Amino acid sequence: MTDYEKAVALWQQKQIATDADLAEALNGHSIMFAYHSGRIENDRITYHDTREIFEHDGVTSYTGDLRTLFEIRNAKEAYEFFLNAFKERHPFDEAFIKEMQKLLTQNTYDTRRWQLGERPGEYKHHDYVTGREETGASPEDVAEEMAELLEELEDVEDKNALTAGSYFHAKFENIHPFADGNGRVGRLAMNYLLVLHNHPPVIIHEEDRKCYYEALEAWDSVQELEPLRIFLKEQTVKTWRKRIMRLSWPG
């Protein structure tokens, strides 16, 4: 059994059925996910500030900028939404994606985007591209492309969870549906899809961002999914390594 297979087996042995089960299984990891996911695109985010906000809903002696503080606070609210959505088995649909984006980006849109009519929770109204390949669907095509993507994922079998998660993340980032927050939304939404299909969520570690971007670019340039799937397997092992080493869940 590979370490990746051990991580999946240990997660499934937990038999997570409720939001309380999920919160217990993610104990500690929710802070690490928010820290790494936020820091991939914002180096001003610190683990200390993230932990303070998640555990105490505030920070002391903060000297950073206000946008960074909002981004961390938003990550906490999005995580709470993540748990509640799992409790209600909210479908992986457009309403879910838009609400998650709204929570992750509220109070963080810059003046230029706001003046252009962009709003959290809405698909982009103007062209924004990303990555070496300058990818991104045109605003008039976003709704249709997102609807097609989400429809493709309606009947995923649990055994194909990682492939489905990889496919969603690659295509979502390629569509680039929002004016801001696409990376953070894509990573958290992918994890929701994974846990819905009894697969452990993945922390994409900020120190591995170069490999992460290269894996996404493999899809953008030649529609090759395997580099991202392999990368996510490796990150799954890295995320749950301590529990894999113990070969059992604590307590």
Tens of pLDDT, residues 184-219: 999 999 999 999 999 999 999 999 999 999 999 999
Query: What is the rounded CA–CA span in Å between residue 36 and residue 47?
Result: 8
Long-range contacts of range 45-49, CB-CB < 8 Å, 24 or more positions apart? 45/71, 45/72
Closest CA to 200 of 1, 61, 22, 18: 22
Percent of the chain at pLDDT > 90 equals 87
Closest CA to 77 of 46, 101, 111, 48: 101
Which domains does the chain possess?
A: 3-246 (1.10.3290.10)
Beta partners for 12?
none
Query: What is the rounded CA–CA span in Å between residue 221 and residue 241?
Result: 32
Tens of pLDDT, residues 77-98: 999 999 999 999 999 999 999 9
